[in-house]
Amino acid sequence: MDPEGLQLLLPPTTLAALANSWLQEDCPGLNFASLVTGSAPSQAVLWAKSPGVLAGRPFFDAIFTQLNCQVSWFLPEGSKLVPVVKVAEVKGPAHHLLLGERVALNTLARCSGIASAAATAVEVARSTGWTGHVAGTRKTTPGFRLVEKYGLLVGGAACHRYDLGGMVMVKDNHVVAAGSMERAVLKARQAAGFSLKVEVECSSLEEAFRAAEAGADLVMLDNFKPEELHLTAATLKARFPSVSVEASGGVTLDNLTQFCGTHIDVISLGMLTQAAPALDFSLKLFAEGDTPVPHARRF
């Protein structure tokens, strides 16, 4: 999927509302620093100081649009960053540039970090010859989910279900609340209708069989050791070839290859959104003819 085209997924009204809420959070009252900078027309350069994948341009744009500033990009969405590199220029009133600076950098750094982790995970998985889906999870930051799910897509991963309405997932707590696996899946199928899939979290082959027999479209084999995972998936698919299998729980970039296998359709990693380090960007105001290059970040 072309990362440049992914911005079409983001409704302008939603982008504007998010940008406004972030700016409101950062400056809900008086902006005392604006008296220091004044409102003279100014320009700033956005620098990338750590390697990774550029992601989050639409959010960066939306923030500065709220502040009547204009952004000119030098690199497309999804670019591989080799520091130190000039990524964009922003022009506008000095006090507005600095009002949006930290909010815009935080958003871009976080989104790019997730895209970078996702791209690495996909590359690692593909190196084994596996062709399934590397996916994120719903382990996202409250209020920041759209940015994080978008970052996964830019990195080449699947975002899994966006929210509770994206798919009906039956987990262990749902089974306990419903009284049995069969009753839980039956109710899930009724709720899903014809338009949604039903996925069931299972911790054993017996549970996987019961879930498939009850009508699950996907079975999540949760917290299986790799050697147990592949045998269970093969046994399940031999009996229910149309059921998709997701591996989840304890998957990291270091052990991802162990989960890739013929009978695994999806591998989900919560760490892509929970543990991806943010990339390092800086926004520096400059005078005409003077654009000093910052130092690269040392890891």
Give CA separation, 232 vs 129, 208, 227, 228, 251, in Å.
Answer: 21, 9, 9, 6, 17
- CA triplet 11, 16, 21: central angle to 5 degrees? 130
Structure tokens at 172: 């262990």
H-state helical runs in the chain: 12-26, 34-37, 57-66, 94-126, 145-154, 172-178, 181-192, 205-214, 226-239, 256-259, 271-274
Q: Which residue is listed with tokens 């590397």?
A: 134
- Does the annotation list 137 as a binding residue? yes
- Does the annotation list 250 as a binding residue? yes
Measure the CA–CA gap between 154 and 58, rounded to whole angstroms. Answer: 12
The single residue of 49, 80, 86, 139 carrying the catalytic annotation is 139
- Does the annotation list 171 as a binding residue? yes
- Does the annotation list 49 as a binding residue? no
- Does the annotation list 102 as a binding residue? yes
- Does the annotation list 210 as a binding residue? no
Q: What b/e string do you get for 27-59 counting C-beta neighbours within 10 Å, with b at 16 or more?
A: eeeeeeebeebeeeebbbbbbbbbbbbbbbbbb
- Does the annotation list 138 as a binding residue? yes
- Does the annotation list 271 as a binding residue? yes
Q: What is the CA radius of gyration of the chain?
A: 23
- Does the annotation list 249 as a binding residue? yes
- Does the annotation list 161 as a binding residue? yes
- CA triplet 159, 162, 165: central angle to 5 degrees? 145
Q: Is 139 a catalytic residue?
A: yes
Residues contributing to the annotated binding site? 102, 137-139, 161, 171, 201, 222, 248-250, 269-271
Q: Which residues are catalytic?
A: 139
Binding positions for substrate are 102, 137-139, 161, 171, 201, 222, 248-250, 269-271
